[in-house]
Amino acid sequence: MLELKSVTKTVGQEAHIDDVSLALEPGTLNVLLGPTLAGKTSLMRLMAGLDRPSDGQVIMNGVDVTGLPVRQRNVAMVYQQFINYPTLSVYENIASPLRVAKIAAGEIDRRVREAADLLQLAPYLDRTPLQLSGGQQQRTALARALVKGAELVLLDEPLANLDYKLREELRAELPRIFAESGAIFVYATTEPSEALLLGGNTATLSQGRMTQFGATLDVYRNPVDLITAQTFSDPPLNTIAAVKEGGKLLVDEGRLSVKAPAAASGLADGPCTVAFRPHHLLRDKPGRGAVTFKGTVAVTELTGSESFIHVDMHGARWVALMHGVHAVPSGAEIALHVEPQRFMLFDAQGRLARADIKEAA
């Protein structure tokens, strides 16, 4: 088990990682989700031992390894760039960590072929990496990381440089490959959909701080604060500033008044944020309780299977994600509806007030 205890990394005046505590179990896949510069790579470097934390402890299987250099840890890493030894064959590339560890030739051969089978590289073992496609090059790098039998495998946006479809294929294979290994996997990505497809656990990062950690779907469905909900939403989360006044939520300087549900009673009067996901903004009124918003269509994007309608509502720009083709012209007036139980309410500090609003407005 890998434990981080209040790990902080400051460079100059800047906190790259701010007080992160985390416990990762063997045989789990853990996604670090956050935008560029959120601290994903910095956190991985601390886990690997490439950097020493300014404060806090890193504990591996109960042993304090804070400050132990990466060479003395059993760690493997895969990067966004396809990093292989260009002059060595795929076979030798995969075998390289075993050769360093001075493992018997027969055992090396067995483990290399096993990893190659797992990653569908068996036909290419005699080629050099430059004769392979991008996807195969990254598979080679993955095989090398796996064959090492490392306790901790760190993957830093490993699919970012691949084509969309290749990404889709590898992403589908990864959970199976991870499950067979038993190591602790840490996987950094900027894409919420990637986290969801991989499953496992997710830690959301924002500006060097970990905002939430838990089972991926649980974090997605029950974010503890606004930042987490925004980080974990693609298309972007729809939000609007509101003011709670007694039993009412006032939006757009009072131009729209929504009856505050009883479930939001935990929220004090004053400014708050109302948020909901793009696929919960509907064109057809789902029921009597639904809240209706009226606004103007800015632009509509059609993918053939889905439509993204970007709308200006009460001074906010929202996206509605719908099935099928909804070709709404720009500039058109539109009424969209949200079921009240889909609302998430956040207080002035961005903390979730209540996930479920039982009663209609």
Distances (CA, A) of 209 to 56, 60, 322, 329, 360: 14, 21, 33, 41, 35
The smaller minimum CB distance to other proteins, of residues 25 and 163, is found at 163
Residue 261 gets which letter from DSSP?
P
Among 56, 149, 235, 289, binds other proteins (CB under 8 A): 235
For 326, the 3-state DSSP assignment is: coil
Q: How far is the CB of 184 from other proteins (least distance, A)?
A: 21
Residue 298 contacts other proteins per CB under 8 A: yes
For 140, phi then psi, to 5°, come to -60, -45
Give the ranges where the chain is alpha helix by DSSP (H).
40-48, 90-100, 105-118, 134-147, 164-181, 192-198, 216-221, 226-231
Residue 33 in contact with residue 204, Cβ under 8 Å? Answer: yes
Among 185, 187, 213, 220, binds other proteins (CB under 8 A): 220
Residue 211 contacts other proteins per CB under 8 A: no
Q: Among residue numbers 132 through 191, which ones bind other proteins (CB under 8 A)?
A: 134, 163-166, 168, 172, 175, 190-191
Q: What is d(CA 79, CA 81) in angstroms, rounded to the nearest whole number?
A: 5
Residues linked to residue 206 through DSSP beta bridges, in sequence order = 209
Residue with token string 């479930």: 263
Residue 238 in contact with residue 278, Cβ under 8 Å? Answer: yes
Residue 32 contacts other proteins per CB under 8 A: no
Residue 321 in contact with residue 306, Cβ under 8 Å? Answer: yes
Among 97, 129, 192, 223, binds other proteins (CB under 8 A): 192
Report how many residues bind other proteins under the rule CB under 8 A. 48
Site string for other proteins, 88-127 (x = CB under 8 A): ----------------------------------------
Task: Estimate to the nearest angstrom the gap between the alpha carbon of 103 and the chain centroid.
Answer: 37
Residue 290 contacts other proteins per CB under 8 A: no
Q: How far is the CB of 304 from other proteins (least distance, A)?
A: 3
Residue 315 contacts other proteins per CB under 8 A: no
Residue 254 contacts other proteins per CB under 8 A: no
Give the binding site for other proteins (CB under 8 A).
11, 35-36, 45, 50-52, 67, 69-70, 134, 163-166, 168, 172, 175, 190-193, 196-197, 199, 217, 220-221, 230, 234-236, 277, 279, 298-299, 301-305, 308, 310, 319, 321, 323, 325, 330
